[in-house]
Amino acid sequence: MIRRLPEGTVNRIAAGEVVERPASAVKELVENSIDASARHIEVTVRDGGKSLIAVVDDGVGMTREDLDLAIQRHATSKLRDDNLVDIRTLGFRGEALPSIGAVSRLSITSRVPDADNAWTITVNGGAVSAPMPAAAPSGTRVEIRDLFFATPARLKFMKGDRSESNQIVDIVRRLAMARPDISFMLREGDSDKPRDRLRVSATQSDLLDAKLQRLSDIMGREFAENALPINAERQGVQLSGYAAVPTLSRANSMQQYLFVNGRPVRDRLLLGAVRGAYMDFLARNRHPMVAIFLEIDPPDVDVNVHPMKAEVRFREAGLIRGLIVGGLKQALSDSGHRTSTSVAAAALGSFQPGTPGLGAGQRPGGGFGATEFQPSQHLASQSSAFQSPFNSPDMATPTAPTATDAPNMEDVARDFPLGAARAQLHETYIISQTNDGMIVTDQHAAHERLVYERMKNSLAESGIARQALLIPEVIELDEAAAEKLLDRATELAELGLVVEGFGAGTVVVRETPALLGDVDVQGLVRDLADEVMSLGEAFGLKERLEEVCGTMACHGSVRAGRRLNVPEMNAILREMEQTPHSGQCNHGRPTYVELRLADIERLFGRR
């Protein structure tokens, strides 16, 4: 016995997909306001959105007839010509309002600018009432009360108010970041103690400034001050945004904001690209802060992947990834030896007058530095390797430019950004004097970076040495994967991995990159095949090679604890100035901190 489900049931089923929790309802309503060309959007929530979500906008509004349709299933004003290929609005499925109405007490009051009055319509657990005249300014007010009261099973899965409302804040922040031209307000709370969780006003200034201003409002001033602009274009795909210098990093990827055509997404491909770009600069468990905006011709991206529209599919995933990795790396290398301003601030904060002997690790209070730069596990486990003797003296000894031997170089060197070396402390730190301050450089971290950059250069210039396997390794993959991998054989060979076909679904590996040493060939090739299948390109090999360079650089660097003379120290400083990325070591720790005279004077109360 097959029967058609009644509309109410259908809507409740749809609600299960579209509105997973209060935050997703907020997302749908705010997206509707944005699509309605609103300039101001105000969100109020109570009890983590469970008892009330209200969204008020000053957008185009709805007529009485529109209101009737808005709450019907698959009714939308947004899909022009029923074209699912060319989507330019945030919504298009026409199912948010009916789904929400099926599981809550929904009321929508709306007025178009030239109408005499507003109209209100209510939906109570799926039961629709006729529109009634109402008094309201033009725009739309949507109220959701008792979300999920009609689906008790879902209600049970709600988290505590705090957790639900944090997710609401996150959603609204993401939407607000993409639209600096709209002001957003998010207020939380029961009438006795209302609390603003977000308040950002629309920026009038020119487009670029507006974007940075908005990011600064939301991600914090520290981000804006330490953000590098990203701008790149490839085959009509536009990449813009800001990325923080690696010394300003986080313990999770929460502060990575990605947008495709103004739509916030959390996409595996995009997150992977960010990780790949920062690979050289950050330890595995540190995450950069970025806000990245992609503008793509709508037909080249599919947003209709998931009812909540948080994921997208790109027609040319490889192109997108390459663009992001390339754009970020470019921005990072343009930044040269810049380190986060917060490093200097943290350093200053730790110079407490009258408390000599206070080590950097024991900084009091929640100072920025204390939490941000705790050495990672990764570093700790490698630190014993620092002690091992290095056996490539040409890499380990800084090449001193002849100028550093000139008698009066000290005065000359002060004009260099990193100044003239004056002393070495604890066989670990180089102290140098600049025209307007002093710089403390961590010799190991700095030199490690220099060696790494040199190794990468020589990789790029003279190619990658291969080593032939004594017994070629035969690997069975599935047929499609093998085929895709073999398509990339030339590229892989350039990176030192020689793969050939060996009958259906089987490949044979004859040579591997010498740099990788005794590598698990099976594992490597399988990983690469997975990657080629899911992303269309094999990035993993290059990343692994770069990681090996990083580890080797670490071993080959001037260890902490080695005494350096003045020309040697100056040579390191001069080379740092010439080397991209020298402001941080391969693990994202800063290589130097700068204290300006003005700051030092302040420490002593002279200012």
First to last CA, the chain: 87
Residue 514, token pair as written in the block: 């010498």
Cβ-based nearer residue to ligand ADP, 307 or 369? 307
Q: With CB cut-offs between 5 and 8 Å by kind, which of Mg ion, ligand ADP, none does residue 166 bind?
A: none
Question: Count residues contacting ligand ADP (CB under 6 A)?
Answer: 21
Q: With CB cut-offs between 5 and 8 Å by kind, which of ligand ADP, Mg ion, none does residue 140 bind?
A: ligand ADP
Amino acid present at 55: V
User: Quick check: 262 and 214 in contact, CB under 8 A?
Assistant: no
Least Å distance, CB 38 to Mg ion, is 13
Q: Name the residue with the smallest CB distance to ligand ADP.
A: 91
As a whole number of angstroms, the distance between CA 105 and CA 128 comes to: 10
Residue 471, token pair as written in the block: 């017994």
Q: Which of 32, 226, 335, 376 binds ligand ADP (CB under 6 A)?
A: 32
Torsion, CA 470, CA 474, CA 475, CA 481, rounded to 10? 110
Least Å distance, CB 40 to Mg ion, is 18
Query: Which letter does DSSP use for residue 563 in this model?
Result: -
Least Å distance, CB 141 to ligand ADP, is 8
Cβ-based nearer residue to ligand ADP, 140 or 247? 140
- Under DSSP, is residue 162 helix (H, G, I), strand (E, B) or coil? helix
How many C-beta atoms lie closer than 10 Å to residue 358's C-beta?
13
Least Å distance, CB 77 to ligand ADP, is 3
Cβ-based nearer residue to Mg ion, 32 or 240? 32
User: Quick check: 595 and 346 in contact, CB under 8 A?
Assistant: no
The beta strand positions in 227-333, using DSSP E, are: 227-234, 237-244, 249-250, 256-260, 263-265, 287-288, 290-295, 301-302, 313-314
Cβ-based nearer residue to ligand ADP, 171 or 585? 171
184 binds ligand ADP (CB under 6 A): no
Inter-residue long-range contacts of 11-14, CB under 8 Å, 24+ positions, other chains counted: 11/73, 11/98, 11/99, 11/101, 11/102, 11/126, 12/99, 12/102, 12/103, 12/126, 12/150, 12/151, 14/73, 14/95, 14/98, 14/99, 14/102, 14/307
DSSP lists the bridge partners of residue 447 as: none
Q: Which of 11, 24, 33, 335 binds ligand ADP (CB under 6 A)?
A: 33
Least Å distance, CB 555 to ligand ADP, is 56
Q: Give the x/- contact pattern for Mg ion in 187-226, rule: CB under 5 A.
A: ----------------------------------------
DSSP lists the bridge partners of residue 314 as: 301
As a whole number of angstroms, the distance between CA 560 and CA 568 comes to: 14
Least Å distance, CB 472 to ligand ADP, is 56
Cβ-based nearer residue to ligand ADP, 33 or 584? 33
30 binds ligand ADP (CB under 6 A): no
Cβ-based nearer residue to Mg ion, 91 or 536? 91
Q: With CB cut-offs between 5 and 8 Å by kind, which of ligand ADP, Mg ion, none does residue 36 bind?
A: ligand ADP
Cβ-based nearer residue to ligand ADP, 112 or 317? 112
Least Å distance, CB 298 to Mg ion, is 17
Least Å distance, CB 14 to ligand ADP, is 10
Q: Give the x/- contact pattern for ligand ADP in 59-78, rule: CB under 6 A.
A: xxxx-------x-----xxx
DSSP lists the bridge partners of residue 121 as: 108
- Under DSSP, is residue 575 helix (H, G, I), strand (E, B) or coil? helix
91 binds Mg ion (CB under 5 A): yes
Q: Give the x/- contact pattern for Mg ion in 21-40, rule: CB under 5 A.
A: -----------x--------
| Footprint of ligand ADP on 84-143 (CB under 6 A) | 91-97, 140
Q: Give the x/- contact pattern for Mg ion in 92-131, rule: CB under 5 A.
A: ----x-----------------------------------
Phi, psi at residue 603, to the nearest 5°?
-55, -35
- Under DSSP, is residue 69 helix (H, G, I), strand (E, B) or coil? helix
Nearest to 70 by CA among 40, 37, 33, 43: 33
Summarize as ranges the residues that interact with ligand ADP (CB under 6 A): 28, 32-33, 36, 57, 59-62, 70, 76-78, 91-97, 140
Summarize as ranges the residues that interact with Mg ion (CB under 5 A): 32, 91, 96
